[in-house]
Amino acid sequence: MNRVRRSRPGATPAEIVKGLNKYYLATVSTTGGAAGASAFAPTGFSVGAAVLDLAAFTEASALYSLALAEIHGVPVQDLERRRTLVMGVLLGNSGSKLVEKAAGRTGAHWGRLLTASIPASSIKQVNKVLGHNFVTRYGTRQGVLVIGKQAPVGIGAAIGAGGNALFGYGVVKSARRAFGPPPTDWSTHLQRDAALVPVVSTSAPHAEQGNVD
């Protein structure tokens, strides 16, 4: 995210989010289409390509979610809370409801509560439930897509690109529910960065007084 801000120093958070959405969706659609296009290859190779694409999609979605957290001024450093964020976003409504329940609040913007409002003990319990749902629901959906990518070349490419784009739009929608609209400016980041700068005293050290002969 910092690299994007350096490349577009005058961009607002909303503009950065818009660009990030486009890049994310283009990336997952391209990799999905490429995996589907490998259907002309031997079965073992094409299945391997589809499985690798699943891993690439999941990783891209994780990086996308964490980048959004940074844009919203909610950097998630703790590993368990990162897992909560990523699985919650990837699972869509079901994931959001689980995290909102742990936070003791329903509605939008649960991603902003991860660093302060949900205790570590609750995070671990949520991750156990999210992990189970992640394997069953997310794994099943993606498994169907992996099979679809094995269709003859052309059809498999269309299924791969379209399927990844569809799931990608779902991730974008889920992330919007987690964080809400982007900040209007970067003031939150400036305040946070200022708080991290150590205060250095500018006063000169007191000279030791001694007797002058």
pLDDT digits (tens, 9 = 90+) for 34-80: 666 655 555 444 555 656 767 888 899 999 999 999 999 888 888 88
Question: Looking at the domain assignment, is residue 198 inside a domain?
Answer: no
Task: Provide the mean pLDDT of the chain.
Answer: 74
CA–CA gap between residue 160 and residue 149 (Å, rounded): 5
pLDDT at 204 over 50: no
Question: Looking at the domain assignment, is residue 200 inside a domain?
Answer: no
Is 4 within 8 Å of 19 (Cβ atoms)? yes
Question: Looking at the domain assignment, is residue 212 inside a domain?
Answer: no
pLDDT at 21 over 90: yes
**Domain span at 92:** 2-183
CA–CA gap between residue 180 and residue 205 (Å, rounded): 49
Q: Is 200 exposed, middle or buried (0-12, 13-18, 19+ CB in 10 A)?
A: exposed
- For tokens 């509560």, name the residue: 113
pLDDT confidence of residue 210: 47
Question: Looking at the domain assignment, is residue 204 inside a domain?
Answer: no
Question: Looking at the domain assignment, is residue 203 inside a domain?
Answer: no
Question: Looking at the domain assignment, is residue 205 inside a domain?
Answer: no
pLDDT at 19 over 60: yes
Domain count, the chain: 1
